Amino acid sequence: MNKVYIGVSIDGYIADRNGGLKWLEQVPNPENESMGYEEFMSGIDALIMGRNTFETVLAFGVDWPYSKPVFVLSSTMQAVPTELNNCVFIVNGKLESIVDEIHSKGYRNLYIDGGRTIQSFLNEDLIDEITTSTIPILLGGGSPLFGDLTKHLEFKLASSTILLNQIVQSTYQRVR
């Protein structure tokens, strides 16, 4: 199962025009609720993300946030910072082959992250589940979650709940 779990504006952006993510935290969260993220992560065996997302995470400048292996899609990256040698792995090639190889290592449930990576996976119909958490804002531009597709992809709604009284979190599963 390849899964997406991502925050998005009403108009479908995952970062604003300046790459900013501050709007993701505009809804007050005094109790610091994880909004399903921890539960989602507990069902995940590994992550696949693009180089951009990887570098964004590095730029946060905090401790490495993932306890699961992270596979970074890149045809140009040669190495990862030494301290991440055991948890971050560079992969490239055909997406389907990459997924097969990761599966063969025993990682079955994959968290697909980053706009362009998600779009590439959707383009090859390799996404099984999408959870969007919609923040009540129109950004009017930025990095879009979705891109062009060569065919319609039907999903079914698995669940939808309201978080923090303001965020609609919906999970869609691919109908094949």
Binding-site ranges for a copy of itself (CB under 8 A): 10-12, 16, 23, 26, 122, 130, 132, 134, 136-141, 145-157, 160, 162, 165-168, 170, 172
Query: H/E/C letters for each residue in 39-84?
Result: HHHHCCCEEEEEHHHHHHHHHCCCCCCCCCCEEEECCCCCCCCHHH
Nearer to a copy of itself, 72 or 145 (CB): 145
Q: Given the complex with a copy of itself, which of 101 and 138 has the nearer CB atom? A: 138
- Would you say 94 or 152 has its CB closer to a copy of itself? 152
> Shortest distance, CB of residue 60 to a copy of itself, whole angstroms?
22
Q: 34-42: long-range contacts (C-beta < 8 A, 24 or more apart)? A: 35/133, 35/163, 35/164, 35/167, 35/169, 36/131, 36/133, 36/163, 36/169, 37/5, 40/3, 40/5, 40/111, 40/131, 41/68, 41/111
For residue 28, what are the contacts with CB-CB under 8 A and spacing of at least 6?
164
Q: Which is nearer to a copy of itself, 31 or 148 (CB)?
A: 148
Q: At closest approach, how far in Å is the CB of 171 from a copy of itself?
A: 10
CB of 130 to a copy of itself, least distance (A): 7
Q: Taking a C-beta distance cutoff of 8 angstroms, is the pair 159, 31 a contact?
A: no
- Minimum distance of a copy of itself from residue 36's CB (angstroms): 15
Q: How far is the CB of 132 from a copy of itself (least distance, A)?
A: 8
Closer CB to a copy of itself, residue 22 or residue 94?
22
